[in-house]
Amino acid sequence: MSADLDQLENQSIYILREAYNRIDKLALLWSIGKDSNALLWLCRKAFFGRIPFPVVQLDTAMELPEVYEFRDRIAKEWDLNLVVEQCPPEEEMDQTLPPLTRAAARKTEGLKNLLRNDAYQGVMVGIRRDEQATRAKERVFSPRSLEGDWDVKDQPAEFWDHYKTRFPEGVHVRIHPLLAWTELDIWRYSQREGIPIVPLYFARDGKRYRSLGEKNITFPVDSTAATIDEIIAELQVTRVPERAGRAMDNESEDSFERLRSVGYM
Amino acid sequence: MPHSQLRIVIVGHVDHGKSTLIGRLLNDTGSLPDGKVEQVQEMSRKRGMPFEWAFVMDALQAERDQGITIDTTQIHFKTAQRPYVIIDAPGHTEFLKNMVTGASQADAALLVIDAGEGALEQSRRHAYLLHLLGVRQVAVVINKMDRVEFSQARYETVAHEIKEYLAELGLFPKAVIPISARNGDNIVARNTEQARWYLGPTVIEQLDSFRPQQTSPDQPLRFPLQDVYKPDDRRILAGRVESGRLRVGDTLRFAPTGASAKVVSIEAWNHPETVLSAQAGQSIGVTLDKRIFAERGHVAYHEDSAPVLTHRLSVRLFWLVSEPMQVGRTYTLKIATAEHRVTVEQVTAVINVEDLTSTPGKAVHRNEVAEVVLRSRSPIAVDLAAELPRTGRGVLLDGHDVVGGCLVVEAEDSATANITEVSHTVSAEERSAANGHRGGILWLTGLSGAGKSTLAMALERALFDRGWQTFVLDGDNVRNGLNAGLGFSPDDRAENIRRVAETAKLFADAGMVVIASLISPLRDDRARARVIGGDRFHEVHVAADLATCEERDPKGLYKKARAGEIAEFTGVSAPYEAPEQPELVIDTAALSRSEALAHLLDYVDETLGKASLRTGKELTYVI
């Protein structure tokens, strides 16, 4: 039974179509991880095959080789309008951030450059509420200043599927079509739909990547799950948080929150 | 275990213990990640505060420091029965919009009340909002029972009070559960010592007996359009079925245009089987057998169960912002995907949520609930919220912001309202018979310099000389009177065309042949004019290539546009979308002036002249 996946799919397609209709200049952020792959898949469903906006990778040149291989193959097969935005180097980051968090902040700066140079009014991001406590507070349509600041204390009302789609000058909006999905939903959906997955998610020699990030700040976790079925079985019982292998989340109590309040995804 | 999760919202007055209850639920069901409790204990120790279960919930730095929950948040946990999402809604009055955001997504609600304090104003307000937001499954949790020694008498008093209040709203709680969130009593484990007298369900048992909200496909069909896509040669109308069911082969009618067409296909990408039907909740795309004018905001339905088309509606609304809603002010009302400008005609009643009494007023302030009458210039397709909630409720926008939400409680059917058209005693047939021709609209569209005005005036002269009732509505001329005050922004241009179309329709109704001569560069604008004009509308494309028009340049406008003195000049710096299926094309680059006029006269004679009167009836039934 996967009526719940149908419901999630229908809701995400509704959000994608609202974004495409209401927001003038739109891009999708593709991290090449399992969530944004599912998001691309949903876009193809929503728009009947072809994604009608650019798909942007914020590149730090620090991804694992399998990730780049996957990116180039899928971009070609799915006829994506792929834009690779090079992120500025670590030396230019806020030096008061802890070192690993600083490495992650490069993506925030890459995103700011993208927004500044290409004047996007909306970017779609495949984050989920169950990933991380601050993401749990997100709106589906979440307005940001040009600097990416997120005012968590004054977010717009969002109810009955009416989203905030009008903004003053200088504000852009993050659109989060997967907010209501869980990690388990993503895997069950990927399995049902046959969505391609970077092989790093599957266990080799007793370890797998549960959450995929740059090689300098992401580590594989102990696991024997070598297929999607096994991953699903693992997730039913695990008590290890999804982002346990993400160094920057766990560097200090508020490192992820600091990242997000200035514009991290 | 089913994967399908139930979404519950936990509401209640500040400090009545919502976050503590959630922390407990997570812990007692074994849903917390390893190390979380230790992490929070360590954080509390560092701050020199006693450990609170609420801290587990309050992940943000600011929340930990202030000890309150700022925004709604969502937390996942599991019972043996199924997975849950908890939506925590803050109790502070000023955070109403977050509470509304959280509660509107819920299948069921827990209302938390402090055993010592009882149902305070906020508890009542939250209960009232649950009712407005459409959350029908509610259970009450009376918390901090440990502080009143699990007194049965105290429980009965608080339970009685809140049950009475809820009953007035038409809400009947499934259970009223005495608990201590701090000690974990009656959440997962029962307190069989102090609460031996309580025989009802625990919190977990109650949660497991709630049902996910479901929409029945047996309701009338409402399919509001989100967008129209042309990925290839298909023209796909995309949207979500909000209620009812739609099948391939169905005849759909669209509000507010009244256009109708048959569903040829339900389009789906990467779907192995042909899709033959779709029901409430599904995001779909359909193709139709006819090219009708349809756009975002239009609502498809089946002929036998139409929505009400109204200009005046009564709503029950809640107001979210500090700037009050005022009588006479205009807002945007968004229902499903349609947006309408509405003016507040009357504030019938401001409701006191404490005792449910009401008083009329002139304004609605933040956090207030009121009954209000709204009036719209454009017809709004709506349902009553009590019948079809998804197309019977909406949000109000002021500028960039959502400022309130509302439910339709009454809608005046335009067909029976005061503005119902008075039927004429002179029929259209009689007018045609007297004039010797039918009334109609010849809509001349084309680039500046294509020859529209020249042709229009020549046609008017020729028809008048033959004794016809005729008049030219010229784009430039109407801008001095009827449309003075409209500029050249896309909205103003669209309004300009709409007014000319409405005026042309009146002339045509009076039996005249109206010759409208307007560049009208956009297909959608002309499609709207066609909707207004109905079958009397005849689109004539006065075609001449840009080079020819620019060479003629009778008004010197191209020269100015090329010099950059006119912004957005059609053909130069703004697009001209040529008609796809006009009734007639007159190529003035290839034809002489008299040849062009002859063609046009032939067409008019054929469609509106004596010949058409004789065969008029048959023509009507062709197609």
**Residues A82, A51: Cα–Cα separation, whole Å:** 11
User: In the structure encoding, which two tokens stand for residue B558, read together?
Assistant: 């191209």
Looking at chain A from residue 220 to 239, which residues have their Cβ under 8 Å from any Cβ of chain B? Answer: 239
| Chain B CB contacts of A133 below 8 Å | 59-60, 73
Q: How many CA atoms lie within 13 A of A95 on its CB side?
A: 2
Contact assignment for B320 to A257 by CB distance below 8 Å: no
ipTM: 0.93
Would you say residue B59 has pLDDT above 60? Answer: no
pLDDT of residue B66: 41
Please name the residue of chain A whose CA is at the shortest distance from the CA of residue B235. A48
- B69 φ/ψ angles, rounded to the nearest 5 degrees: -90, 125
Contact assignment for A182 to B76 by CB distance below 8 Å: yes
Q: Does A157 touch chain B (CB under 8 A)?
A: yes
Q: Does B270 touch chain A (CB under 8 A)?
A: yes
CA nearest to A169, candidates B400, B565, B417, B334 = B400
* Lowest-confidence pick of A158-172, B201-215, B376-390, B479-493: B479-493
Would you say residue B530 has pLDDT above 90? Answer: no
Contact assignment for A17 to B238 by CB distance below 8 Å: yes
B226: pLDDT confidence band, cut at 50, 70 and 90?
Answer: very high
Of the residues A9, A153, A159, A189, the best mutation for testing chain B's interface (the one with the most B CB atoms within 10 Å of its CB) is A159
Averaged over B217-241, what is the pLDDT? 94
Q: What is the pLDDT of residues A41-89, one digit of tens each?
A: 999 999 999 999 999 999 988 889 999 999 999 999 999 999 999 999 8
Contact assignment for A155 to B98 by CB distance below 8 Å: yes
Q: What is the pLDDT of residues A191-221, one digit of tens each?
A: 999 999 999 999 999 999 998 888 878 889 8
Would you say residue B17 has pLDDT above 90? Answer: no
Highest mean predicted confidence (pLDDT) among B18-22, B269-273, B398-402, B481-485: B398-402
pLDDT of residue B90: 58
Residue B505, helix vs strand vs coil: helix
> Could you tell me if A125 and A174 are in contact, meaning their C-beta atoms sit under 8 angstroms apart?
yes
Please name the residue of chain A whose CA is at the shortest distance from the CA of residue B278. A10
Q: Does A262 touch chain B (CB under 8 A)?
A: no
Prediction pTM value:
0.76
Would you say residue A133 has pLDDT above 80? Answer: no
Contact assignment for B3 to A188 by CB distance below 8 Å: yes
- Bigger pLDDT: A243 vs B60: A243
Averaged over A211-236, what is the pLDDT? 89
With 0-12 CB in 10 A as exposed, 13-18 as middle and 19+ as buried, what is B563?
exposed
pLDDT of residue B415: 64
Encoded amino acid at A232, one letter:
I
Q: Does B71 touch chain A (CB under 8 A)?
A: yes
Averaged over B230-247, what is the pLDDT? 94
Looking at chain B from residue 309 to 328, which residues have their Cβ under 8 Å from any Cβ of chain A? Answer: 320
Torsion of CA A21, A25, A31, A32, to 10 degrees: 60
Contact assignment for B283 to A184 by CB distance below 8 Å: no
| Chain B CB contacts of A182 below 8 Å | 5, 76, 83
Contact assignment for B405 to A159 by CB distance below 8 Å: yes
| Chain B CB contacts of A241 below 8 Å | 33
Of the residues A135, A141, A160, the best mutation for testing chain B's interface (the one with the most B CB atoms within 10 Å of its CB) is A160
Averaged over A224-249, what is the pLDDT? 84
| Chain A CB contacts of B85 below 8 Å | 180
Contact assignment for B76 to A130 by CB distance below 8 Å: yes
pLDDT of residue B420: 42
User: In the structure encoding, which two tokens stand for residue A134, read together?
Assistant: 């601050």
**Residues B252, B235: Cα–Cα separation, whole Å:** 16
- A153 φ/ψ angles, rounded to the nearest 5 degrees: -85, -15
Of the residues A48, A169, A210, A243, the best mutation for testing chain B's interface (the one with the most B CB atoms within 10 Å of its CB) is A48
Please name the residue of chain A whose CA is at the shortest distance from the CA of residue B104. A159
Please name the residue of chain B whose CA is at the shortest distance from the CA of residue A128. B74
**Active-site residue, B314 included:** no
Averaged over B482-507, what is the pLDDT? 88
Q: What is the pLDDT of residues B107-159, one digit of tens each?
A: 999 999 999 998 887 788 888 888 888 888 999 999 999 999 999 999 999 99
A34, A185, B118 from A207: Cα distances, Å:
17, 22, 54
For chain B, domains (ranges, CATH) are 6-209 (3.40.50.300), 223-302 (2.40.30.10), 310-413 (2.40.30.10), 428-621 (3.40.50.300)
Rg of chain A taking only CA atoms, in angstroms: 18
Q: Does B43 touch chain A (CB under 8 A)?
A: yes
Cβ-nearest to A48 among B43, B236, B405: B236
- List Cβ neighbours of B538 (8 Å cut-off, separation of 6 or more): B440, B441, B442, B443, B583, B584, B603, B607
**Residues A108, A58: Cα–Cα separation, whole Å:** 9
Sheet hosting strand A55-59, strand order edge to edge: A82-86, A55-59, A26-29, A122-124, A171-175, A141-145
Instruction: Kindly name the residue from B520, B573, B594, B612 that is annotated as catalytic.
Output: B520
- List Cβ neighbours of A51 (8 Å cut-off, separation of 6 or more): A28, A40, A43, A44, A78, A80, A81
- List Cβ neighbours of A59 (8 Å cut-off, separation of 6 or more): A84, A85, A86, A87, A110
A85 Cα to chain B: minimum distance (Å)? 28
CA A8 to chain centroid, in Å, comes to 17
Cβ-nearest to A160 among B3, B74, B393: B393
| Chain A CB contacts of B390 below 8 Å | 160
Averaged over B32-43, what is the pLDDT? 76
Please provide the DSSP assignment of B34-78 as one string. TTHHHHHHHHHHHHT----THHHH--SHHHHHHTS--S-EEEEEE
Nearest-10 crossing angle of helices B96-103, B121-133: 40
> Could you tell me if B416 and B308 are in contact, meaning their C-beta atoms sit under 8 angstroms apart?
no
Q: Does B133 touch chain A (CB under 8 A)?
A: yes
Tell me the average pLDDT of chain B: 86
| Chain A CB contacts of B61 below 8 Å | 253-254, 257
Would you say residue B574 has pLDDT above 70? Answer: yes
Strands B513-517 and B440-445: parallel
Q: Does B38 touch chain A (CB under 8 A)?
A: no
Looking at chain A from residue 47 to 66, which residues have their Cβ under 8 Å from any Cβ of chain B? Answer: 47-50
> Could you tell me if B278 and A6 are in contact, meaning their C-beta atoms sit under 8 angstroms apart?
no
pLDDT of residue B411: 92
Contact assignment for A166 to B393 by CB distance below 8 Å: no
User: In the structure encoding, which two tokens stand for residue B149, read together?
Assistant: 């020694």
A113 Cα to chain B: minimum distance (Å)? 26
Tell me the average pLDDT of chain A: 89
Sheet hosting strand B176-178, strand order edge to edge: B73-78, B83-88, B6-12, B108-114, B137-143, B176-178
**Residues A7, B502: Cα–Cα separation, whole Å:** 43
The rounded percent of chain A whose pLDDT value lies above 90 is: 56
A119: pLDDT confidence band, cut at 50, 70 and 90?
Answer: confident
Please provide the DSSP assignment of A110-139 as one string. HHHHHHHHH--SEEE----GGG-TTGGG--
A10 Cα to chain B: minimum distance (Å)? 5
Contact assignment for B3 to A133 by CB distance below 8 Å: no
Contact assignment for A49 to B231 by CB distance below 8 Å: yes
Highest mean predicted confidence (pLDDT) among B57-71, B214-228, B233-247: B233-247
**Residues B490, B70: Cα–Cα separation, whole Å:** 42
Of the residues B46, B84, B388, B400, the best mutation for testing chain A's interface (the one with the most A CB atoms within 10 Å of its CB) is B400
Peptide bond into B256 cis (omega under 30): yes
Averaged over B45-54, what is the pLDDT? 80
Q: What is the pLDDT of residues B181-204, one digit of tens each?
A: 989 999 999 988 888 999 999 999
Q: Which residue has the tokens 């909205």?
A: B491
For chain A, domains (ranges, CATH) are 3-181+252-261 (3.40.50.620), 192-250 (no CATH)
Q: Distance between the two ends of chain B, CA-based, in angstroms?
A: 56
Encoded amino acid at A132, one letter:
Q
> Could you tell me if B255 and B381 are in contact, meaning their C-beta atoms sit under 8 angstroms apart?
yes
**Residues B490, A232: Cα–Cα separation, whole Å:** 52
